[in-house]
């Protein structure tokens, strides 16, 4: 009898320890929306959830009150998108953007989830493919950057309209106030102008500082890197590789307010593009030289 009682006690202690460990190691959710300003985050809603996204950027602030600091200025950009989560930690979606009439298909997968113990960070990967929907006359005139010549008309193939973006993100929530995320990306355009490279490698840094139960200060920074090993531009006069036309860094800061099903963000930033590959390849706005503009992002989720 004593042996049975001892066995039951040991089993009870083991099960209690196991349940205690399970209770301690709870998932940590760092963000309240899958998009932070114009950057992807590690957030993926629950399975069987549909998300609607509105991203809007106004014109430049440079004219001041004459056009209400860009709100009524030309040059606005809008993206509408739907995302669906069929199974836990996997999301796919589609969107359409005003600039270049991009249609994009995208997917996001969370490989690791930060927990209260055992796993200190979340690891998420994201990728998309975008189709440039403009008329042929809007495209550049060269498929190989180093073979410059006279402009010539040619037929734009469907493959020439495609661009790609892939990114890996590491996220950590520090307590209840601070969340930080860092990432690296690769951008590729099948067709670019003469002075552009087809490939861009970038670094990304974003985060939020919570100041109330439903409010946070948010920020995002994107840096296209100059890497000679992937440059296609050659300076024949100096007999060396050149950068070509290189995108400028993107810097944005704003505030976010959220509820259980909504997130609303308003910010000021530099990039006029919304798709990440467009920002990494083409952004020429400089935050130090009248390159800022207002924008907002709204997300709404429905659970089925």
Q: Residues 195-216: pLDDT tens digits?
A: 888 999 999 999 999 999 899 9
- CATH class, range 27-303: mainly beta
Q: What is residue 1's predicted lDDT score, i.e. its pLDDT? A: 53
Q: What mean pLDDT, rounded, does the chain reach? A: 85
Per-residue pLDDT averaged across 12-17, rounded? 52
Q: Cα dist. 254→37, 38, 227, 282 in Å?
A: 8, 11, 31, 23
Among candidate residues 188, 197, 103, the one with its CA nearest the CA of residue 142? 197
Confidence tier at 94 by pLDDT (50, 70, 90):
very high
Segment 212-248, tens digit of pLDDT? 989 999 999 999 998 888 888 766 555 556 667 888 9
Residue 10 phi, psi dihedral angles, 5° rounding: -65, -45
Confidence tier at 191 by pLDDT (50, 70, 90):
confident
For the whole model, what pTM was predicted? 0.85
What is the C-alpha separation between 253 and 17, in angstroms, rounded?
Answer: 45
Q: What is residue 148's predicted lDDT score, i.e. its pLDDT? A: 52
Question: Are the beta carbons of 141 and 156 closer than 8 angstroms?
Answer: no
Segment 62-88, tens digit of pLDDT? 777 777 877 887 888 999 999 999 999
Question: Are the beta carbons of 275 and 128 closer than 8 angstroms?
Answer: yes
Neighbours of 93 (CB within 10 A): 20
- Pair of tokens at residue 40: 């992807």
Q: What is residue 235's predicted lDDT score, i.e. its pLDDT? A: 66
**Which residues, other chains included, contact 302 with Cβ-Cβ below 8 Å and sequence gap of 6+?**
49, 50, 52, 261
| DSSP string covering 187-220 | EEESS--TTS-SEEEEEEEEEEEEEETTEEEEEE
Lowest mean pLDDT among 21-25, 154-158, 195-199, 210-214: 21-25
């Amino acid at each position: 009898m004593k042996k049975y009682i001892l066995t039951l006690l040991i089993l009870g202690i083991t099960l209690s320890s196991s349940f205690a460990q399970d209770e301690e190691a709870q998932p940590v959710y760092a963000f309240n929306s899958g998009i932070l300003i114009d950057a992807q985050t590690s957030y993926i809603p629950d399975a069987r959830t549909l998300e609607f996204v509105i991203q809007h950027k106004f014109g430049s602030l440079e004219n001041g009150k004459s056009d209400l600091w860009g709100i009524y200025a030309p040059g606005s950009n809008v993206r509408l998108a739907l995302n669906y989560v069929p199974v836990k930690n996997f999301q796919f979606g589609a969107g359409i953007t005003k600039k270049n009439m991009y249609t994009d298909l995208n997917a996001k997968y969370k490989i690791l989830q930060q927990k209260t113990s055992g796993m200190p960070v979340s690891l998420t990967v994201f990728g998309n493919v975008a189709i440039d929907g403009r008329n042929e006359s809007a495209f550049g005139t060269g498929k190989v950057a180093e073979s410059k010549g006279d402009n010539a008309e040619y037929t734009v193939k469907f493959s020439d309209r495609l661009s790609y973006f892939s990114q890996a993100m590491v996220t950590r929530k520090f307590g209840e106030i601070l969340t930080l995320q860092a990432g690296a990306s690769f951008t590729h355009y099948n067709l670019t102008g003469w002075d552009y490279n087809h490939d861009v490698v970038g670094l990304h840094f974003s985060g939020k500082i919570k100041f109330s139960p439903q409010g946070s200060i948010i920020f995002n920074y994107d840096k296209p890197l100059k890497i000679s090993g992937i440059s296609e531009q050659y300076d024949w006069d100096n007999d060396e590789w050149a950068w070509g036309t290189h995108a400028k860094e993107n810097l944005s800061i704003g505030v976010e307010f959220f509820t259980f099903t909504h997130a609303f963000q308003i910010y000021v930033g530099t990039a006029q593009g919304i798709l990440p590959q467009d920002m990494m390849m083409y952004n020429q706005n400089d935050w130090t030289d009248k390159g800022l503009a207002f924008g907002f992002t709204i997300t709404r989720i429905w659970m089925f």
